[in-house]
Structure 1
Amino acid sequence: MRFDLNRDGWICWPEREDLSLEFMRLLAAAQEGGSTVSECWLTASRIDFTDDDCWYDEWSKTADANNDRGFAAFAAGNLVTARSNWLRALNYYSAAAYPFDLAPDKQRAAVSAMRECAANYLRHRRPRGEVVSIPWLSEFALQGYYLPAHATKGPAPVVICIGEPGHRKEEYLFKLAPHAFERGISLLAVDVLGDETGLPFEQLMRHQKLESAIEPVMDYLVGRDDVDDGRIAILGDGWSSSFVARGIAYDPRFAAAVCDGGIWDLHEQAFLKRRMASAGDDTGWSPETSRILRNIRCPLLITVGGRGWLKTDRVTELADQLGVDRRDVTLKIFERAETAAAQGHIDNPTLANEFIFDWIASRLGTGCVSFDRQPQES
């Protein structure tokens, strides 16, 4: 197995940049409980990186081993170990389904196994989590996982963690949920991939604006008795579009938001403007985009990596445009020297999430939880 190690510490198989990125995500997940470093390297050592089927087979084997250990631990009454193994298994199944050109039947099998592991984890979590279905379109429901922070009779603050297209919500069970739980915040993990019982996602993308998914998610939470509807935040994970920013622009119910703030839309608009100008078509600033972005009234956090897809000076310039007449806009840039500097902070999600959830907790008025005083379900 030959790989390159660049100056930023990236492990790279030159012939497969896509799988290299996924492998880095898997390694980084180890510090959040989504993998183990040894299992990642052992699995990678068996993979022919030019063969998507080989990638699928080997990660599926590793996932199966963790899933089996989870059931064995559960049978022995060791729930902590069972939950840990199910979390790793669902992440490995997610990796198995990753290759874009993977046969549909194999992808469906991996996704089904991943969701089964997630359901087992939620079922035996304390407090117990829920698999929820949120109506969106007539032929496309959103699937989510609701994880209460602690057993309580009163309504609790909640953060919606929603993935950009291509990001699966199962990752948030180990990546984000512990950060929320430790700060007394419940979590709703959701993505825009649906429950795979209706329209294919690719067909949906051609006919539906993704930002329309935000309102029904908020409606669902507001309708729950255990949610403090005055303390609901949203975190858009992935940072490859501005659909979360567009979705919250005209919804005053959000108490805080962590997303790109519309920067991606601004960047794409500027790019198209330059292209059109070079072709002799003079296009100006879009009043609609400006109006949407300036209508985000809740406190806003924008985090970006110094090695991300946009240069930091460009991000700062665009963020300054968003900050006009605003009272609470925070821009955090993670530089190369501290890590968490890659796109989406995939090189060190822990560092970024600590900052993000401290910021969310400060806006929602929560703090660290003393676990020994929290009531637990039997």
Structure 2
Amino acid sequence: MRLLSAAQEGGSTVAECLATARRIDFSDDNSWCLEWTRIADTNDERGNAALAQGNMPTARSNWLRAVGYYQAAAFPCDQADEIHRRAIGRMRECAVKYLRHRQPAGEVVLIPWPGGHALEGYFLPAAAGSKPAPAVICIGEPGQRKEACLSKVVRYAGDRGMSVLAVDLLGAAAIAPFEEIVGRSDLESTIGHIMDYLVGRDDVDEHRIAILADGCGSSFVARGIAFDDRFAAAVCDGGIWDLHERAFLRDRFAAADAGFGSGRIFSRVARNIKCPVLISTGERGWLKPERVRELYDGLRADDRDVTLKIFTSEETAAAEGHADNTTLANEFIFDWIASRLGIATN
């Protein structure tokens, strides 16, 4: 579903997805990876041929699709598997080729993170003549890769004059120390280090930086912005998961201790978020809409600038992470970001 949805953004084609799916032999454990790698290789080679002929738009389009197909190939494989390593390596190569040959060119950046694990990001500057430009950080849940942002969000930011820093927690290696990363007690500190990098750039307007938590609710992003008042706007769960856990514990132990959880259910995370927040979810997401609205009402306390958008099944974008229609969700999300950063979109 994610691959088919990416077709709207240039991250795949419907015809290639269906043709590849038909070739997969589900009695062969390696068939999934091999078939997606095959179609990815085809797009990569097609992009290289277009580059040699001077057809840059075609080259970029093919590399962008190859990125998505290589990621699909690696998805079900163990990180130590050779197929996984090759797919991730080829995916990164195609992403770098796309960055280098877009206008204006993007760049691969390394962001220090205490503990010896440097964060890797892709910085895609806004169009020439708009410096210093507002910027948006796009970061996913631990385990999600930044390459998906290239097709998913870059166009929406660029159309509105924003630079993009796409970053993940996996670093530059094909085999990432996933368990080590997720187990860190200071996971939310990532956000501050990323912001430190951006405000140090001459081509970024440090007063107009937003963050987009891609994929799931990304509560670690909410924790990160709660203690960093440099953000001008944020699209994340706003600490809803934290509030949900607290409510669960209150209800669970209320019978044993009548005093437990009395009064308002509020968290340190939610209480400390200063910037405007958009909570964007679907009615078929990980929490029921009525539960999200209940928690949202708590976040709205003290007149905080919190916006809630729940996409319905009728309008689509209602799946977890808006995977069924990222286009519709991103139009709403980036219009909201632009309004909070003071960007005219007419």
Regarding TM over 0.5, the answer is yes
Deviation of 1:285 after TM superposition, in Å, equals 7.3
Confirm whether residue 244 of structure 1 aligns to residue 221 of structure 2.
yes
Contact conserved, 2:77 with 2:83, CA < 8 A, in 1?
A: no
> Partners in 2 of 1:53 and 1:279 — Cα distance?
52
- Over aligned residues, Cα RMSD in angstroms? 2.2
Q: What residue in structure 1 maps to residue 39 of structure 2?
A: 62
Confirm whether residue 204 of structure 1 aligns to residue 181 of structure 2.
yes
Deviation of 1:292 after TM superposition, in Å, equals 2.0
> Partners in 2 of 1:283 and 1:113 — Cα distance?
53
Q: What residue in structure 2 maps to residue 341 of structure 1?
A: 318
Match of 2:192 among 208, 215, 218: 215
Contact conserved, 2:139 with 2:146, CA < 8 A, in 1?
A: yes
Structure 2 counterpart of 1:297, which letter? K
Deviation of 1:275 after TM superposition, in Å, equals 4.2
Count how many residue pairs are aligned between Structure 1 and Structure 2. Answer: 346
Contact conserved, 1:132 with 1:144, CA < 8 A, in 2?
A: yes
Structure 1 counterpart of 2:21, which letter? A
Deviation of 1:190 after TM superposition, in Å, equals 0.5
> Partners in 2 of 1:87 and 1:131 — Cα distance?
16
Larger CA deviation: 340-349 vs 284-293: 284-293
* Match runs of 1:13-162 below 5 Å: 24-49=1-26, 51-99=28-76, 101=78, 103-152=80-129, 154-162=131-139
Structure 2 counterpart of 1:162, which letter? I
> Partners in 2 of 1:238 and 1:104 — Cα distance?
25
Q: What residue in structure 1 maps to residue 149 of structure 2?
A: 172
> Partners in 2 of 1:195 and 1:231 — Cα distance?
28
Confirm whether residue 271 of structure 1 aligns to residue 254 of structure 2.
no
Structure 1 counterpart of 2:32, which letter? W
Q: Helix, strand or coil for the counterpart of 2:267?
A: helix
Q: 1:207/1:298 Cα in 2 relative to 1: closer, same or farther (>3 Å)?
A: closer
Deviations along 1:255-287, whole A, 9 cap, x unmatched? 011000011122233334444557889853799
Deviations along 1:27-51, whole A, 9 cap, x unmatched? 0000000000000000000113464
> Partners in 2 of 1:280 and 1:316 — Cα distance?
27
Larger CA deviation: 140-149 vs 97-106: 97-106
Structure 2: where are the runs of 5+ without partners?
none
Q: What residue in structure 1 maps to residue 274 of structure 2?
A: 297
Q: What residue in structure 1 maps to residue 298 of structure 2?
A: 321
Confirm whether residue 257 of structure 1 aligns to residue 234 of structure 2.
yes
Deviation of 1:197 after TM superposition, in Å, equals 7.8
Structure 2 counterpart of 1:108, which letter? R
Contact conserved, 2:281 with 2:309, CA < 8 A, in 1?
A: yes
TM-score after normalising by structure 2: 0.94
Structure 2 counterpart of 1:125, which letter? R
Contact conserved, 1:140 with 1:197, CA < 8 A, in 2?
A: no
Structure 1: where are the runs of 5+ without partners?
1-23, 370-378
Structure 2 counterpart of 1:319, which letter? Y
> Partners in 2 of 1:91 and 1:166 — Cα distance?
15
Q: Helix, strand or coil for the counterpart of 1:210?
A: coil
> Partners in 1 of 2:67 and 2:192 — Cα distance?
28
Match of 2:330 among 353, 367, 378: 353
Q: What residue in structure 2 maps to residue 307 of structure 1?
A: 284
Q: Helix, strand or coil for the counterpart of 2:332?
A: helix
Deviation of 1:100 after TM superposition, in Å, equals 5.1
Structure 2 counterpart of 1:97, which letter? A
Contact conserved, 1:273 with 1:282, CA < 8 A, in 2?
A: no
Confirm whether residue 193 of structure 1 aligns to residue 193 of structure 2.
no
Contact conserved, 2:77 with 2:84, CA < 8 A, in 1?
A: no
Deviations along 1:281-318, whole A, 9 cap, x unmatched? 98537999612211111111111101111100000000
Q: Helix, strand or coil for the counterpart of 2:303?
A: coil
Contact conserved, 1:140 with 1:199, CA < 8 A, in 2?
A: no
Larger CA deviation: 146-155 vs 336-345: 146-155
TM-score after normalising by structure 1: 0.86
Q: 1:54/1:197 Cα in 2 relative to 1: closer, same or farther (>3 Å)?
A: closer
Structure 1 counterpart of 2:58, which letter? T
Q: Helix, strand or coil for the counterpart of 1:297?
A: coil
Larger CA deviation: 97-106 vs 252-261: 97-106
Deviations along 1:37-96, whole A, 9 cap, x unmatched? 000000000113464411100000000000000000000000000000000001100000
Structure 1 counterpart of 2:129, which letter? T
